[in-house]
């Protein structure tokens, strides 16, 4: 990996672990932080926020994307996910779909508090994605 990518990951790591400490996860006790890097180098963080009505909870990755879009960012290069899990964890299926809307070429990094790391592309994680271009209707016969 290039030194530039390393520096980028340091800032993303810091933002993701800081967000992880703010996670609200009283039900799963699985705290997650995510940091999303936009094409201008801006970083947007999110954490999981659970709810007593369990299905109402939202993941860290979608929280980060919500913060980014609300701030006007639309193009992203990398997301870094931080957890305290035993192994690096990839984003869930819902988050993969949410991420691909804005970032089909996203790099996905997952790190653990104990130094574990895994990397994928979003295309690896969500092949044959349903993307906005596919919404086009075919012309009338």
**Residue 31 beta carbon to ligand THU: minimum distance, rounded to whole angstroms:** 8
Asked if 61 is an active-site residue, the reply is yes
| Contact residue for ligand THU among 5, 10, 30, 94 (CB under 6 A) | 30
The active-site residue, picked from 61, 75, 101, 107, is: 61
The phi, psi pair for 50, rounded to 5°, reads -90, 175
Nearest Cα neighbor of 43 from 70, 20, 67, 7 is 67
Task: Quote the CA–CA distance of 35 and 14 in Å, as a whole number.
Answer: 9
Other CB atoms within 10 Å distance of the CB of residue 52: 8
| Contact residue for ligand THU among 91, 98, 100, 103 (CB under 6 A) | 91
| Contact residue for ligand THU among 11, 18, 25, 125 (CB under 6 A) | 25
Binding mask 93-132 for ligand THU (x = CB under 6 A): --x-------------------------------------
Name the β-bridge partners of 74.
Answer: none
* Residue 52 CA to its chain's centroid (Å): 23
Task: Quote the CA–CA distance of 94 and 61 in Å, as a whole number.
Answer: 10
> Binding residues for ligand THU, per CB under 6 A?
25, 28, 30, 32, 48, 50, 57, 59-61, 81, 89, 91-92, 95
Residue positions annotated with a catalytic role: 61
């Amino acid at each position: 990996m290039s030194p530039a990518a390393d520096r980028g990951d340091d800032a993303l790591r810091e933002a993701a672990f800081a967000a992880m400490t703010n996670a609200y996860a009283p039900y799963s006790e699985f705290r997650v932080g995510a940091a999303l890097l936009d094409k201008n180098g801006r970083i947007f963080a999110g954490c999981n926020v659970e709810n007593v009505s369990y299905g109402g909870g939202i993941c860290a990755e979608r929280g980060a994307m919500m913060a980014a879009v609300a701030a006007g960012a639309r193009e992203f290069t990398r997301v870094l996910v931080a957890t305290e899990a035993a192994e690096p964890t990839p984003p869930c299926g819902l988050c993969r779909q949410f991420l691909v809307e804005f970032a089909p070429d996203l790099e996905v990094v997952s790190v653990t508090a104990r130094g574990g790391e895994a990397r994928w592309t979003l295309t690896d994680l969500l092949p044959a994605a349903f993307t906005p271009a596919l919404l086009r209707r075919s012309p009338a016969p």
